[in-house]
Amino acid sequence: MSHVLPPLRGGHRLRLLQGSGELFPFLVEAMDSAQRDIRLETYIFDFTGQGAEIAYALERAARRGVSVKVVVDGFGSEPIPPSWAERFLHAGVEWRVFAPPGWLGMLWLGSWRRLHRKLCAVDGEIAFCGGINILDDFHDPNHGPLAAPRLDFAVRVTGPLVADVVASMERLWQRMQAVRDIRQARLAGALLSLRASGTSLAAPRRIRAAPEGPRSRAALVLRDNLRNRTRIERAYRRAIGRAREEIIIANAYFVPGRKMRHALVAAANRGVKIRLLLQGRYEYFMQYYAARPIYGALLRAGVEIHEYSPSFLHAKVAVIDGRWATVGSSNLDPLSLLLAREANVVVEDIGFAALLRTRLMQAIRQEGREMEAGEYQNRPLRQRFMEGLAHALMRLALAVQGKKYL
């Protein structure tokens, strides 16, 4: 397991994108301009509303000869609609499903290890990373139409880390291909795929220089079940440990482990202003209720907790001291930090951090509801019971997976 965080490198141009309303037009533009290849990974690929625009762009690219490879998660994504499966087949879009859960569903032990990252690379020159699925802002697969758009972020990037995105996606593709070959008794092909996944088979092409202008220092930080098991959590803890003025974290599913909680409390005790923007709208039982038992210690330390409820909060972002920022797919909860494949971009840039901070403060002030310490202490017994039950179920689920976190 690697204990070294990837270095922040200069030479990047970054653009913060909020929601599918901002992200999808840039995705479509990049895909329509693609000349060689498009790679896309997502937890959810939903063909409703704006999601279909990405599907059409992938089809158009494949029909003009661009290599198009898509990986979706087997639990997060519904089976591809037959009409789209046929269209993609005829166009030449290669579609793979990561770890289909099978008939046991989430009862199968290995099924909790999900592909949760949201990455796209086009021609080895442009990459996208964030928390936004291929999913319309105003649609939820489980809850139907939404009255307000989902709050989420992604980043468009050019520069050196695009090569890291391409290499990571190629490694996953080759490993999935090896599994397919083994299942079909093609052992020679499986060995070649496994060998390729451990080498720089898709070594990045030379990246064209970004347009002149301010450049950002940035790095791609991955979380997987091999070499990069703790990198995203350690990147957060290092930044929190160095904070001197302010920490703002927006997280959809916030159940930090002991080390992360201690880091936040220690920062608050040394005078750092900490604001958390967390999910205030019920989405999933375990994530919603399991988060609340840890609020008490944070509130006592002076941490502000703001709950967001106009729509679903799906962001996984942070800004620290107006300079350090991260945008990605990883929640600060055990499912993300211990089990899922995740990807975050870490940025050190005053302008980028200022823009993300502005967006978060706007959500906090206009759409967040601050939780008071007295309100938390006086919450109903029924809610306390639900919180305890959810916390116990999460502990049990982790124990079954051989993990200890909470």
Q: Given this model, what pLDDT does residue 4 score?
A: 82
The mean pLDDT value for 383-400 works out to 86
Place of tokens 């003009």: 64
Predicted structure pTM score: 0.91
- 178 pLDDT band (50/70/90 cuts)? confident
CA-CA-CA-CA dihedral for 264, 238, 369, 381, to nearest 10: -40
- 211 pLDDT band (50/70/90 cuts)? very low
The structure tokens listed for 77 are: 């994504």
- 179 pLDDT band (50/70/90 cuts)? confident
- Euclidean distance between CA atoms 221 and 205, whole angstroms: 20
Pick the CATH number of 219-400 from 3.20.20.150, 3.30.450.20, 3.30.870.10, 3.40.50.720: 3.30.870.10
- 23 pLDDT band (50/70/90 cuts)? very high
User: Residue 313, exposed/middle/buried by CB under 10 A (0-12, 13-18, 19+)?
Assistant: buried
H or E element that contains 357: helix 350-367
- Backbone torsions φ then ψ of 259, nearest 5 degrees: -65, -40
- What's the mean pLDDT when you consider all of the chain? 89
Q: Given this model, what pLDDT does residue 90 score?
A: 98
Q: What angle do CA 198, 204, 210 make, to 5 degrees?
A: 150
- 210 pLDDT band (50/70/90 cuts)? very low
CA-CA-CA-CA dihedral for 235, 238, 244, 249, to nearest 10: 40
- Higher-scoring residue by pLDDT: 101, 372: 372
Share of the chain above pLDDT 70, in %: 87
H or E element that contains 90: helix 82-91
pLDDT digits (tens, 9 = 90+) for 281-318: 988 888 889 889 999 999 999 999 999 999 999 999 99
- Higher-scoring residue by pLDDT: 54, 109: 54
Q: Which residues pair with 13 in a beta bridge?
A: 158
- 192 pLDDT band (50/70/90 cuts)? low
Q: At residue 213, does pLDDT exceed 50?
A: no
Where does 33-143 show beta strands of DSSP type E? 37-42, 67-73, 94-98, 118-122, 126-130, 139-140
Q: Where in the chain is the domain with CATH 3.30.870.10?
A: 13-197, 219-400
232-253 as b/e: b if 16+ CB within 10 A: bbbbbbebbeebeeebbbbbbb
Q: At residue 206, does pLDDT exceed 50?
A: no
Query: Active-site residues: which are they?
Result: 116, 118, 123, 314, 316, 321
pLDDT digits (tens, 9 = 90+) for 55-110: 999 999 999 999 999 999 999 999 999 999 999 999 999 999 998 876 655 544 45
- The answer to whether the CB of 219 falls within 8 A of the CB of 345 is yes
CATH number of 13-197: 3.30.870.10
- 231 pLDDT band (50/70/90 cuts)? very high
Q: Given this model, what pLDDT does residue 201 score?
A: 39
The mean pLDDT value for 135-150 works out to 94
- Euclidean distance between CA atoms 208 and 243, whole angstroms: 35
Q: Given this model, what pLDDT does residue 209 score?
A: 40
